[in-house]
Chain A
Amino acid sequence: LSDHASRDDSAVADAALIDRTLAGEPAAFGELVLRYQDRLYNSLVRVLGSAEDARDAVQEAFVQAFVKLESFRGSSAFYTWLYRIAFNQAMSHARRKRPTRSLDDERTDRGREPVDVQPAPDARLDASERTTQVHRALAELSAEHRQVIVLREMDGCKYDEIAELLEVPVGTVRSRLFRARLELRDRLAPMVEKNLTG
């Protein structure tokens, strides 16, 4: 709930920044970039499976958003709108370009991820091993399944938000998410088993 309240607050702040941008203050748009660049990147890097593509897609999405800012009606949240721009264009880009690379590439990209140094070496190894497995399993999902998982689990979106982002009914989100989780469960069977017994 608090999550939702803060998102409402941020919607108000977003609107103010958008107004200021349209009134001729590009720096205000810079604030929007700062606000959402990591959130968008985090989603895209999981969905696209490549850090480089994700970074490009994030930049390009912001550029397009800036160029089209006048057409933003405010009926949806700015982030929703931004995400759609990013995703649509990333998809069309991916179709034109090479097949997406494995998430393993991202895995080697440690420097970008906050690394937790607190736990004991064993636990840390275990955690990173698990992260690797999850990455691999995610990469094996269909794009549709991966996307819904990323939005729900990593981005923390509610079903209705996901529905809006993907422009599908809430019922579809629910069933898609369920099927995606079942698939992940099968792919991560040993880990799941270990967690349930241990």
Chain B
Amino acid sequence: MFILSILLILSKRSVMPDNKAAEFDDELLSAYLDDELAPEERARVEERLASDPRAKRLLEELRVVSQAVKAVPSATVGTDLRESVLRRAERTMLLPGERASARGLNEMVRKLPFGRSKRAWFWAGAALAAGLMLMFFEREPVRNEGLPSAVALRDRSARLETLSAAKPAAQEDVDKRVAAETAAPASAPLAAASADRADHGSGGVGGSVAAVAGRAAEAGDSDDLLVVRVTVKPEALRNRAIDAVLARNQIEIEQPIAQADNRSRTKNVPAEPQDVDVLLLAAEPAQVMSTLADLDADHANFLGIEVDDERAGRQWGQSAERSDYDFQQYDRGVAPDRQKVEVALNRNYVIETKQGRFEIERYVGREIGLQQQLARDDLSLGSGEGLARRIEPQSSEQEATADRYLAEGQVARSSVSPPSPPNTAPAELALSDSVGSAKLGFARRASQKLAAKANLLEVLFVLTAGDEPAATRPAAAMSPTSPPAEEGLKNGE
């Protein structure tokens, strides 16, 4: 064996011209190929190549390999991710979920570009709102004093900016949908769908083919809050038209007790018409569904509804329900083939809960469809357990408070105002310390358990004022063969 290896070495040496070359590292050839050598290394390689056919061959082999890999066509995502990324980002910042609470909500809030932008105010406020509200829902009963009536939902332009940030992309999406629809076999319901869209489709939400929300049945899923965005006519927003809808669905609206107090504190603030209304709601899935259906039906006041569907997409990506998956893709602007589009058109809002799966088949007839669905699932509408809480926009006085908060680095107290009576725990959250954030995390989980137990669905309604449908509707005018629509279809498959 020993002799054999000596022989091997000898034979190898005999091939090599000299000792110096024997130290030649083939690795240099690879780097030579990439033009990543220092001048002296380069010279050595070239010298070597001139005298050693083996090295020359290896270089050629490496070159072929490199070219073969380079020749692989590059893959593209196929869709514009802007909208969904901004959505998800907003959502991540809205919800102090598992990750956030592990890190500490305080840290999360600190990470928001606080004080630097208007946008940050919106998010910070909304995140706190969501966190605090969950506390309240956890606490029973949810009546009365000391509830923070105001959480920083401050600046009008910031909100609009935030909420409309992804609008161009959303519009594109709608265009694709419209085109896909038109491309689908023209049955009567389909045509109706298109017409429906054209009637009130500003922002593409009201008549969107489908807005879907999934809700994981597993407890402990931190992302488990449905976000519903509603575009409302300004006057309907001012008149709080949604209150009537909620009431009709037996969802009780808690009046923020501190409001009077609030008003007295903010006498300097001009009464500006609100252009955002945020409600956090916990209700039975059936109530939520029915509310969505009502909002959807009320074209006069509600211009569009959009249910945050990110989670649904992710969940269904792995689900066995093929048609849902395809439909979901379609909804994201990736059009599946035509038959599947048709399937998709028969669906509307879908929510999955422990109680089962809820959906409203819009074109079957909204009311009837819902009632049938409920009957099928042996459920009745509204047991009166639903509860909604309005999150009030903050006044400028409270902004000042929040500014002070920034200086002092304390989260909870300043964001929650006016000061609560001592016996109401929420204001004592003390989010600024780690104990507090742990507490919040706990509360969040507890609230989920509670919600799961009572089968309540937590929904954050974000209502914003929208333009008159007629004023802003390029989508309706879109010809089905216009370039972006075409592109959408091609990209899809």
Contact = CB atoms under 8 A, between A and B. Distances in A.
The interface centre, meaning the residue of B74, B84, B118, B166 with most chain A CB atoms within 10 A of its CB, is B74
Interface residues of B, number: 56
B384 to A, nearest CB: 38
Interface string B75-98: 111101111111011101100000
Contact of B73 (A24, A114, A133, A192): A114
Contacts of B85: 29-30, 33, 59, 62-63, 66
Main secondary structure of the interface of A (DSSP, over half): helix
B71 A112 contact: no
Contacts of B73: 113-116, 131
Interface string B466-493: 0000000000000000000000001111
A53 B408 CA distance: 43
Interface in B26-44: 26-27, 29-31, 34, 36
Contact of B75 (A113, A134, A149, A153): A113
A154 interface: yes
Given A42-B74, A127-B71, A24 B61 contact: no
A135 B75 CA distance: 12
The interface centre, meaning the residue of B73, B84, B90, B165 with most chain A CB atoms within 10 A of its CB, is B73
A111 B492 contact: yes
Contact of A22 (B72, B83, B117, B165): B117
Contacts of B71: 127, 130-131, 134
A37 interface: yes
Contact of A185 (B31, B65, B120): B65
For chain A, give the interface size range: 35 or more
The interface centre, meaning the residue of A30, A56, A133, A184 with most chain B CB atoms within 10 A of its CB, is A30
Nearest to A112: B78
B60 interface: yes
B120 A154 contact: no
B119 interface: yes
A41 B76 contact: yes
B72 A131 contact: yes
B282 to A, nearest CB: 26
23 contacts: A24-B113, A24-B161, A26-B119, A30-B83, A30-B85, A30-B166, A30-B169, A58-B81, A59-B81, A63-B85, A67-B89, A68-B111, A112-B75, A112-B78, A114-B76, A115-B73, A127-B71, A138-B69, A153-B70, A154-B69, A154-B74, A188-B68, A196-B64
